[in-house]
């Protein structure tokens, strides 16, 4: 991680409209690190931790309530949540826990404004 900080300090500032950004050593290291990151939280754990409904979990995971109900069912016919669903729940848990400590600039990048979503 210390090497990443040094590489980050050596970076030249980017022009906003200069796309695509080049992938340098720093970016390659970050891609490899994140590739092995097992960020995830089960629906059951999220449900136990937060006072949410199955509808809330469906909204967070961008899926149907029927799908979420299946995750809580004891039937073997239901599909388990995907790694993407688990990641959405973990990210939302992080945001709910630490929202106030996240810098506004980062929140603006994480949470797209309506006008950016249209383009």
Whole-number pLDDT of residue 117:
47
Whole-number pLDDT of residue 8:
61
For 15-48, the pLDDT digits (tens) are: 666 788 889 999 999 999 888 888 899 999 999 9
Please state, in angstroms and rounded to a whole number, the distance separating the CA atoms of residues 100 and 96: 9
Which letter does DSSP use for residue 100 in this model?
G
What pTM, to 2 d.p., does this model score? Answer: 0.73
What band does 67 get if pLDDT is binned at 50, 70 and 90? Answer: very high
What band does 91 get if pLDDT is binned at 50, 70 and 90? Answer: very high
Please state, in angstroms and rounded to a whole number, the distance separating the CA atoms of residues 45 and 41: 7
Query: How would you class 37 by CB atoms within 10 Å of its CB: exposed for 0-12, middle for 13-18, buried for 19 or more?
Result: exposed
């Amino acid at each position: 991680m210390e090497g990443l900080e040094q590489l980050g300090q050596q970076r030249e500032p980017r022009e906003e409209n200069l796309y695509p950004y080049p992938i340098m050593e720093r970016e390659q290291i970050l891609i490899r690190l994140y590739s092995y990151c097992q960020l995830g939280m089960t629906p059951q754990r999220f449900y136990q931790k937060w006072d949410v409904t199955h509808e809330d979990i469906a909204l967070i995971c961008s899926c149907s309530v029927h799908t979420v109900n299946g995750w809580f069912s004891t039937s073997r016919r239901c599909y388990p949540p995907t790694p993407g669903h688990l990641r959405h729940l973990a990210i939302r848990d992080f945001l709910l826990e630490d929202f106030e400590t996240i810098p506004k600039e980062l929140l603006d990048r994480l949470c797209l404004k309506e006008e950016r979503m249209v383009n």
